[in-house]
Amino acid sequence: MPHPAALSGQGIQAKTDLPYMPPHRIEVAGELDGQRLDAALAAAGLGLSRRQIRALIEGGSVRVNQRRVRFASHRVKQGDAIEIAARSAPPTQTPRPEFHFTAADILFDAYEVIAVNKPPGLPSQATRDPSVPHVASCLEAYFHSRGREVTPLVLVHRLDKETSGVILLARGNERATWLARQFRGREVRKSYHALCHGLPTEDDFDVRSYLSEIDRKTGRVRTVRSGGQLAVTHFHVLRRAPGTGFSLIACEPHTGRSHQIRVHLAGQGFPIVGDKFYGAPSIRPLPADLAALAAAHHLLHAREIAFTPAPGQPAITVKADYPPKFAELVRRVFPDAG
């Protein structure tokens, strides 16, 4: 229930199962002077959890004295006017997806090297939240379930969270160092497939530019004239669909910069379908029947990787199948692909 001694509001409802959330205007009373914004809203009896309130704030739905505030830790003062924009429904916690590797996902397991087909949405490495799964933790769970000894798994290279495909790990630091030398010496060949907006006129083209580091505030990478790192990518058009304006492009990065392929393709006017940072969906909207398939993740897939697994062994090439939504989009866009 609301706390009238602390806050006075209009239209405040305490039910948690409202089909919609009407706009609210709340005035901070003296008892909450100096409190956090999320605490002030919790005291208003909106029927939302602290997590849902933070989602409202971080999503830009809350204004204090007509200025949007996105930080739950913002301190309010007596007399402040807090306004909450109308929402179609109260924010709910999105269920965390579960990731479980199967035998089909293990593409190579020999010479203390493991290649696995990473699904989109699974982080390559551990995050600040230890409860969030990542590639190594999921592999460890897979081996545990089969009664196999789990030696320390070392991630050798990374893929963006939404990028799917083949990724390498090593059992221990010695083999990881062996593989890392190959990456540094550019002896490892990687090929990605990207479903892109636009129809390149040339079958093959190269992009060479200097890229910034990932901006900590925006999460984006920019092309810069100076102060960046050299990034070089070769592109080969595999298929074109003139009717829908999509292309399937093979991408071979000769350097390993963050977001390199995504930035290079967007800079050439061929952004990757579903790319939330560089995809410009308002300019090139997907047909309605394809939009749902592309909504979950961008359509970039680490298709192949060629490397030498151990000293004295021949080089091998490991290939990863497309994830289900990627495969379905390719089938729909290129029905004659077979």
Kindly report, residue by residue over 203-245, the tens digit of the pLDDT.
999 999 999 999 888 889 999 998 899 999 999 999 999 988 8
Number of domains in the chain: 2
The CATH code of the domain that includes 254 is: 3.30.2350.10
Mean pLDDT of 264-279: 91
Classify residue 72 by its DSSP letter. T
Backbone angles phi, psi at 82, to 5 degrees: -100, 125
The answer, yes or no, to whether residue 283 has pLDDT greater than 90, is no
Same domain, 17 and 140: no
**pLDDT for 17:** 36
Give the integer Cα–Cα distance in Å for 312 and 288: 52
Asked if residue 25 belongs to a domain, the reply is yes
The answer, yes or no, to whether residue 56 has pLDDT greater than 80, is yes
Asked if residue 1 belongs to a domain, the reply is no
Mean pLDDT of 85-90: 57
Helix%, strand%, coil% for the chain, nearest 5: 20, 30, 50
Rg (CA), the chain: 25
Asked if residue 14 belongs to a domain, the reply is yes
The answer, yes or no, to whether residue 4 has pLDDT greater than 50, is no
The answer, yes or no, to whether residue 25 has pLDDT greater than 60, is yes
Six-digit token string for 105: 């996902």
Q: How high does pLDDT run on average in the chain?
A: 85
**pLDDT for 10:** 36
Residues with a known catalytic role? 160
Same domain, 234 and 289: yes
Same domain, 109 and 79: no
Strand partners, 6: none
The answer, yes or no, to whether residue 20 has pLDDT greater than 80, is no
Same domain, 35 and 116: no
Asked if residue 89 belongs to a domain, the reply is no
The answer, yes or no, to whether residue 93 has pLDDT greater than 80, is no
**pLDDT for 337:** 63
Percent of the chain scoring above 90 in pLDDT: 54
Same domain, 125 and 219: yes
Same domain, 161 and 276: yes
Same domain, 110 and 31: no
Asked if residue 202 belongs to a domain, the reply is yes
The answer, yes or no, to whether residue 38 has pLDDT greater than 80, is yes
Same domain, 115 and 182: yes
Helix, strand, or coil here: 58? Answer: helix
Q: Residues 6 or more apart from 275 whose CB is under 8 A from it?
A: 262, 266, 298, 300
Same domain, 190 and 320: yes
The CATH code of the domain that includes 80 is: 3.10.290.10
Give the integer Cα–Cα distance in Å for 299 and 276: 11
Owning domain of residue 29: 7-84
Mean pLDDT of 49-69: 85
Same domain, 145 and 221: yes
